[in-house]
Each structure stands twice: as C-alpha cells, then as structure tokens.
Chain A
Amino acid sequence: MFAKTTRRLLLAATAAFAMVASAAQAGEVTFWTWRQEDKAVYTDLFAAFTKSHPGITVKFEAFPNENYNTIVSTALAGGKGADVLHVRAYGGLEAMAKAGYLVPLDPAKVPELKNLPADALASETLRADGKIYAVSLAGQTVGILINKDLFATAGVAVPTNWADFLAAGKALKAKGITPIANGTATPWMVAVFHSAFTNPFLGPQFVTDMLAGKTNFEDKRYVDALARLLELRDMLPAGFTGVDYPTAQQLFSTGRAAMFVGGSFEIGPFRRANPKLNLDFIAPPAPAAGQPTHVSRWFDSGFAINAKSTHSEDAMALVRWLATPEFAIPAAEKLGNISSLSNAPNSDPLLGKVAELNKTAMPYIMLVHFRYESPTGSDLLQDGVQKMMAGTMTPAEVGKMITDGIAKYYVPFQKK
C-alpha cells in the first residue's frame, strides 16, 4: 500500500519535472524583462517577429523591477535563465558581462549594430575587453516637464535662463501654484534633479576635464553648480524633504505644480494619468541669457543573449531583429521612448522635440561614468545632495565626499 503510493508520487513528480523541462520547446526563445507593464506591447511586437521569422516564437516573462537583478543573477549563476535577457546599461551591464554570463556581439555577425550611435554602443560595452554585449533599446533625457496651462493662467513666460527661472518661480508661487513638484525623499530623483540643473552650469568641458583626470568633484565649477540647487528650495513643495517620487508625480499630474524635473520616460505615464495635461518638455535654464544649455542623457537598457542559451541561433536572430527599425520604430511609438537607433525617428511631436534637445545633450555623469565600482558615484551623490538640500551638508562637503568615495578605485582622484 505504502510502496504503491510512493511509486505513484514518484511517477507524478517525474511527469511534472518533464513538463517543466520541456517548457522551452524547440523554436521557442524565452525573453526576460523587468518591464511587466509593457507586456502587451512586447507580445504584439514579438508576433511581428514570428511573422518575419517563421518557426521562432518568443515567450515573454516579466519579473518585478526591484527583484529583477537578484532573480537574473541567481538564475545565471546556476547556468539557467532566459535565452534573451533585458539587461541594464553601463555598470549594471558590466556586472553580468564580466562574469561571462552574456554572449559578446560580433559586429561582423550582427551587422545591425551599425544602426546604433557610438554612445549607445558604449553603454552596452564591457570596458575591459571592448566588446559589445547588448543591443541598446532607448535613450532617456533629463529635462523639465511643464504644464503649459498653469504658466498661461499665471501669465508667466516659460523661462530659458537662470534669473528668469527664479523669477518665474516667485511669480507662480504668488499665484498659489507650486513651481516645482519634486521633493528630495526619493534618492534617485534627487540625482535626476541634480543633473538637470547642474549640467548647464558645468558644461561639456567639465566632463572632458574630469575624464582626462585634470579635475574632480571638488572643482569650483562643481561646488558652485551644487550651490545653485539651494536657490531652488523655495520653488519646491512645502516639506519637500518628505515629498517622494509618487507624491511629486501626483502634484504635477493633478495640476497642483507647474513643473516636474524628470526624464523623458515620464511623458507616457503623465499622459495616461491625466490626458488633459497640456505638456511640454523643455531644457533646463541656461546659466545666463544667450548661453548654451544642456539636457542630460543616458541609455538605459538593452537586449543580450544568455551564454548558456540552448537556442543560441534563434536568440541571435531575435537580438539582431531588436536592433532594426522594424522593432525600434513601433517599440518607441508604443512605449513612448526615444529609440537608441540613429535611424528610428519618432512621430510624436513631444518626443521629437526631446530628440532635438538630445543633439546638445551632456552625459548623465554619475551613471555614464561612475557606476562601475562601489561606492558608486550615484550612491555618494544621492546621499550627499539629499543632505545638502536638507541643510545638513554644504556643497563643498558634498563635493569632497563624492571625490573621496570615488578615489577608492578611480586612480586620477587619488591624491599623491
């Protein structure tokens, strides 16, 4: 009796195991991402892929954003995971590529890579071997989203330089409108806010000097730019140190605040949250009238092939297709992104405007250049600027803390 039950149980278990093992069938490529909200878009696009590549289907699987790194790294370490993976860029990409979990993309075998500009390729390149490991999906641009109706009601012109910007803030406030929706309770939003306003003051020469090892974050240009952020405190909501990301989004989408300092990736969600919102996306104010300004830009994710994939040819076909306009144009339209591809225009007027601003963009410095080793520039910056805005650290102290932290692994910052 006992033995019989055991045998039945064993049989059932074997059958279940066989079913799981055969879940990824021949001609089926599995795809993992953290973008659960984009499932419908990807499912449609992958159907188009199957049409042009008969015999290959794509199975979409999404995991929560917060746990994605953990789930993927655990799976890859165990020699498992999807055939094609949505991966991060810069340091996040390097972490996976260095460990040998991803297939390097040879430009001779992936001719579609020539559709991507150099800085997009750089975002998915392992610096140590100079090889490209993923096809970049989209670029993100940091600027200012504005509610045109609120500016019109208050009779305030949209400012383009620093002095006008501060004056506009005062005028909006006098009309009972919160000028800027952002608070400082969510650390990564602090970094976005910081980059938007400091980059125009720093200028591209600062980045060049930094990468040449001629200066660090104690540079007067950087400390002065940080000090500018303090002038904006009056424009933020009351109790801004406790205002987090979702609150800032609410304040802007419900028309209680005139501006939202954020990425181009906010355009889609704001349109969905309030279709009546009369949106515009502008560059941050220039230091003075007549001077140039710069939005900040980074490339945020890409598609890579798992080195342990059992369907590597089909996976390669999919990744090559992901680097073509056939995928990139409809994906950018449906996801509200700006494709990384140089030959994928966006018909949306607002995204078209962002693409125009990108022509004079500066890098989103900490992510693009200082998120490869710990403590990352982002870790240090978010901590420091949050404190500076709360008044418990000075701009000079923040500059020193960032420099000292990065100096741990970045030789040009190490004092002789």
Chain B
Amino acid sequence: MTTRAARRWRQGAWITLLLAPALIILAGFVTLPLLAALRYAFYAFDGLAPAGFVGTANFETILFEAPYAAWTMRALGHNAIVFVSLMLFQNGLAYLVAFALLKTLPGHRLHQVIVFLPVVLSAVIVGFLWKLMLHPLFGVINAALALLGIAPHPWLGDENTALGAIILTNAWHWLGFPALIFLAGMQRIGAETLEAARLDGAGDWVLLRHIIWPLVAPATTIVFTLTFIGSFNWFELPYVMAGLTGSPGGATDVLGLYAYRLAFGSATAGLQDFGRGSAMAVLMFLFLAMVSAVALKFLRRREMEL
C-alpha cells in the first residue's frame, strides 16, 4: 500500500468513526421507531401485544368509521386553524417586528433580545405560565379585564376561546423566531437598494410590500415550512394547557394529542392501541412529508418569480 492510500484509508476510518455515534443514535431513535410504527400500523392489537396482520383496517377505522373519523377530522381541522392563525398573526406580526428592528431605532438591540427571549423558554414553562394567567378565578388576565369593566371569562374552559387562547400563547412564545429569520433576510438586502427606493419616494408600506417582501422570499419559504410542520406536529403546548383529551370537549384536540391517545390511551379514560396509534402517526408523517415537499417546490419557484 502506498503512503497516500494508507493516509486516505486512515482518513476514511476517522470519518466513519466520527459519523458513527450520530448515525447509530439516528438509526436507533428515529429510523427504527419509524419503521416499527409503519409495521405496527398494519397489525391489530389485542391488549398490548400484536394480534395479527390486518392490512389497512386500522387506517380505515381512523379515517372512515364513527366515531374515529369525526375525531380525526376534528383534530385535523384544529391543526389547520392553528397553521392559518399562526401564519397570519404570529408570522405577520413577526414580519412587521423584523422591519421595526431593521430600522435600528434607539434601543433596538434590547428590543431584539426581548422579542427573542420567550423562544428560549421551554413550552412546558410557557404553557404553565399562561394557563395560570388565563385562570378563570385567579388569573391576571381576568383581573386586568375586570379593571376595564369586562366580566371574567374561563378562556381555556370555553369551547369557543380555548383553541384561540393556546394559539395566542404559541404566538407569544415563538414570535421571535420568524422575526429573527425575517430580520436576517432583510439585513441581507443592500442598504443602497432600500435607500434608492426611499429616494424614489417609497414609504414604509411600499417598501414592505414591493421591495422587501420579494427579496425576503427565501426567508418566507423557511418560515412557511417550519410553521406548517410545527402546526401539524403541535403537541406540548395543548398538552400542558388543555390536557391529553384536548379539553374542553375536544375543542383543543389536535393530531399530535389524538395519535398519542390512540396509541397509549390516557390513564383515566382510554385504552392502548398501538395499531391505530401507529396508523395515525404514519398518516401524519405522509401528510407532512408530501405537503412540505410540494409547498417547498412551489415556494422555491415563486422565489424565482418574485
């Protein structure tokens, strides 16, 4: 063996060695469970053990049979509401916040930190804090509203307001993240471009709508994709704030909670069924993967057009 070949072999061995831990962890904790879920989705479960291959029966149950079909559609509908609301309110606001930060007004560094700070908090802490603030009897939000003469309301206990309250909490928690991505996108636009537009008499609105918007299109693609995946994988916040059943009366039930309930049951009501739970997880995975892929392709093309 020549020295060069030996060196290359050593280098290859090193790379393999360095990659191995990550690959082993990925295979053990991501790939294997994914494949196991895929297999379990085609099995009936009698208690905790697989009781035989049943083809697509689990998928048919959760998609077409009452009451599962209605529960699946209800959860999917809530995920869609979460996605649209977060795109409009959280990310829309994040876009404006990013523009405000771009203007480097006095104290903008402090504001940048403040806007991003909630993002570093755990969803469990945020959920718990907001649950306390929204509490019907002791909550600070009802207390503040009382000062304005508005009657107290059980925000998380009313089917009409519970999901909205959790979405707003999510927006508060995550606002800084899209804002940061937008800000990074905006900072990449040359100052001379913006100055030229201003000299041509463009106000803030024209700048935002016609100059910055097309130029931060790649950032929008990232924000769209991450929000989409985040919205349809939503679990921690509704779990902490509304519990495993999507209380009240399923008004906050989303696919993540529903799949978990199907698979593991809840200690106080349901039974475990890994078959149906896995089928739900597989459907969620396929849905997310397909929509994300199509959306990415479409958005990338749009980036070019813009």
Are the CB atoms of B271 and A243 closer together than 8 Å? Answer: no
A241 at the interface (CB under 8 A from B): yes
The dominant DSSP class at the A interface is helix
Contact (A387, B47) CB under 8 Å given A185-B157, A238-B137:
no
CB distance from A293 to the nearest CB of B (A): 25
Looking at B68, B137, B153, the one whose CB has the most chain A CB atoms below 10 A away is B137
Residue of B nearest to A6 (CB): B17
Are the CB atoms of B270 and A379 closer together than 8 Å? Answer: yes
Q: From residue 250 to 282 of chain A, which have CB atoms closer than 8 A to chain B?
A: 251
Contact (A95, B270) CB under 8 Å given A242-B136, A390-B249:
no
Size category, B interface: 35 or more
CA of A387 to CA of B17, assembled, Å: 57
CB distance from B77 to the nearest CB of A (A): 16
Are the CB atoms of A186 and B247 closer together than 8 Å? Answer: yes
CA of A73 to CA of B158, assembled, Å: 35
B147 at the interface (CB under 8 A from A): no
CA of A408 to CA of B273, assembled, Å: 16
List chain B residues, Cβ under 8 A from A383.
245, 249-250
Are the CB atoms of B273 and A374 closer together than 8 Å? Answer: yes
Are the CB atoms of B249 and A386 closer together than 8 Å? Answer: yes
List chain A residues, Cβ under 8 A from B276.
374
Please tell me which stretch of B169-177, B260-268, B279-287 contacts chain A, meaning at least 4 of its Cβ atoms lie within 8 angstroms of it: B260-268
B118 at the interface (CB under 8 A from A): no
Residue of A nearest to B46 (CB): A98
Contact of A240 among B49, B157, B247 (CB under 8 A): B157
**Per-residue 0/1 for A389-406: is the Cβ within 8 Å of any B Cβ (1 yes, 0 no)?**
010110000000100110
Are the CB atoms of B249 and A95 closer together than 8 Å? Answer: no
Contact (A376, B271) CB under 8 Å given A383-B245, A390-B159:
yes
B113 at the interface (CB under 8 A from A): no
The dominant DSSP class at the B interface is loop
Please tell me which stretch of A21-29, A63-71, A221-229 contacts chain B, meaning at least 4 of its Cβ atoms lie within 8 angstroms of it: A63-71
Are the CB atoms of B249 and A100 closer together than 8 Å? Answer: no
CB distance from A165 to the nearest CB of B (A): 23
Are the CB atoms of B154 and A386 closer together than 8 Å? Answer: no
Residue of A nearest to B261 (CB): A379
CA of A372 to CA of B273, assembled, Å: 12
List chain A residues, Cβ under 8 A from B294.
none
A184 at the interface (CB under 8 A from B): yes
CA of A101 to CA of B138, assembled, Å: 47
Q: From residue 124 to 173 of chain B, which have CB atoms closer than 8 A to chain A?
A: 134-138, 152-159
Contact of A243 among B46, B67, B154 (CB under 8 A): B154
B18 at the interface (CB under 8 A from A): no
Are the CB atoms of B270 and A239 closer together than 8 Å? Answer: no
List chain A residues, Cβ under 8 A from B66.
404-405, 408
CA of A405 to CA of B265, assembled, Å: 16
Are the CB atoms of B248 and A239 closer together than 8 Å? Answer: no
**Per-residue 0/1 for B38-53: is the Cβ within 8 Å of any A Cβ (1 yes, 0 no)?**
0000000011110000
A378 at the interface (CB under 8 A from B): yes
Contact of B48 among A68, A73, A241 (CB under 8 A): A73
**Per-residue 0/1 for B61-88: is the Cβ within 8 Å of any A Cβ (1 yes, 0 no)?**
0000111100000000000000000000
Contact (A375, B67) CB under 8 Å given A243-B137, A386-B248:
yes
List chain B residues, Cβ under 8 A from A186.
243, 247
A314 at the interface (CB under 8 A from B): no
Residue of B nearest to A243 (CB): B136
Are the CB atoms of B272 and A73 closer together than 8 Å? Answer: yes
Are the CB atoms of B47 and A238 closer together than 8 Å? Answer: no
CA of A187 to CA of B264, assembled, Å: 17
Q: 5 closest A-B pairs (Cβ-Cβ)?
A: A242-B154, A242-B157, A239-B136, A98-B47, A241-B157
23 A-B interface contacts by CB (under 8 A): A69-B267, A95-B272, A185-B156, A186-B247, A237-B136, A238-B136, A239-B136, A239-B153, A239-B154, A239-B157, A241-B248, A242-B157, A374-B270, A374-B273, A374-B276, A379-B270, A383-B249, A387-B249, A390-B249, A392-B159, A392-B249, A393-B249, A401-B67
**Known interface pairs A239-B136, A376-B269, A383-B249; 5 further A-B residue pairs with C-beta atoms within 8 A, sorted by A's residue number:** A69-B265, A95-B47, A238-B136, A251-B137, A372-B271
